[in-house]
């Protein structure tokens, strides 16, 4: 029992002293892996990815990805500076690349390394939708969602080890039977869905500050839903909110994003025209 209590205390103290502050919410978040370690690793992985994939350069599409990315980065810096977070992006090394791949996806690694796959462009259809995607992916990085997921995974593994060390054989068997599924369905999956919703909110604000109409985000997700053919697991078993939930949230958030953009002098948006 003493051994169990000692491990619990160490785990609790580790979590307590390994926190960062989310600049967009003001809330404390798990940060068991500091950005000083995370960013260099992400940069190295990104460079390796680029050497192993077909990067598109010198096209209108690749230039658009860079243009939109730069505008979103500027919007992020403007918002952070205006809200008392000067210097937050000092360690970011922004980079935007388009990769020739039919996958309908885009992502931003910790520290600002971004990839769009060509497969997502026909679904986006216009630059405003690309900005909505870019804003969402950048928001994940700015809010340190990757760091939080890694930290949560470490906690999940730590609790698993604690359970196997502290419990007797009979209790251990029951624990192992239910812990993996239970911690995912009741912990990790809701955690991931919350990150997606938060990235939608932050990303929509960045999109608007960058001069793109945030209304297009909901239209984008209507097209994303059509592209998926309606194939998706139940929301409670998914890392992402259901498409209908997402559309409803984005429509509700658009007026807030527009109001936030007005604070930065953005009173109208670029036309939403097909590229």
- The residues annotated as belonging to the active site are 137
* Nearest partner of 95 among 103, 107, 77, judged by Cα: 107
Give dist(CA 200, CA 259) in Å, integer.
16
Q: Give 212: exposed, middle or buried? Use CB within 10 Å, 0-12, 13-18, 19+.
A: buried
Secondary structure string (H, E, C) spanning 154-201: HHHHHHHHHHHHHCCHHHHHHHHHHHHHHHHHHHHHHHHHHHHHHHHH
Measured between its terminal Cα atoms, the distance across the chain in Å is 65
Q: Give 220: exposed, middle or buried? Use CB within 10 Å, 0-12, 13-18, 19+.
A: buried
């Amino acid at each position: 029992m003493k051994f169990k209590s000692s491990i619990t205390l160490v785990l609790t103290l580790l979590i307590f002293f390994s926190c960062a502050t989310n600049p967009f919410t003001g809330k404390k978040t798990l940060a068991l892996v500091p950005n000083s370690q995370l960013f260099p690793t992400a940069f190295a992985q990104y460079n390796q990815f680029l050497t192993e994939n077909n990067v598109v350069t010198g096209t209108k599409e690749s230039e658009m990805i860079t243009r939109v990315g730069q505008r979103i980065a500027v919007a992020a810096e403007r918002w952070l500076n205006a809200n008392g977070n000067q210097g937050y992006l000092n360690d970011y090394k922004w980079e935007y690349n388009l990769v020739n791949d039919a996958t309908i996806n885009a992502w931003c690694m910790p520290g600002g390394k971004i990839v769009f796959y060509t497969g997502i462009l026909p679904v986006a259809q216009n630059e405003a939708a690309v900005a909505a995607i870019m804003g969402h992916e950048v928001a994940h990085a700015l809010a340190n969602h990757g760091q939080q997921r890694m930290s949560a995974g470490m906690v999940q593994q730590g609790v698993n080890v604690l359970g196997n060390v502290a419990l007797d054989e009979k209790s251990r068997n029951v624990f192992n039977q239910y812990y993996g599924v239970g911690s995912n369905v009741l912990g990790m999956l809701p955690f991931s869905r919350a990150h997606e919703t938060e990235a939608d909110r932050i990303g929509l604000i960045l999109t608007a500050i960058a001069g793109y109409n945030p209304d297009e985000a909901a239209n984008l997700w209507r097209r994303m839903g059509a592209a998926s053919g309606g194939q998706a697991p139940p929301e409670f078993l998914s890392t992402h909110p259901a498409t209908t939930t997402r559309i409803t949230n984005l429509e509700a958030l658009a007026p807030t994003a527009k109001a936030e953009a007005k604070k930065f002098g953005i009173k109208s948006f670029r036309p939403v025209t097909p590229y």
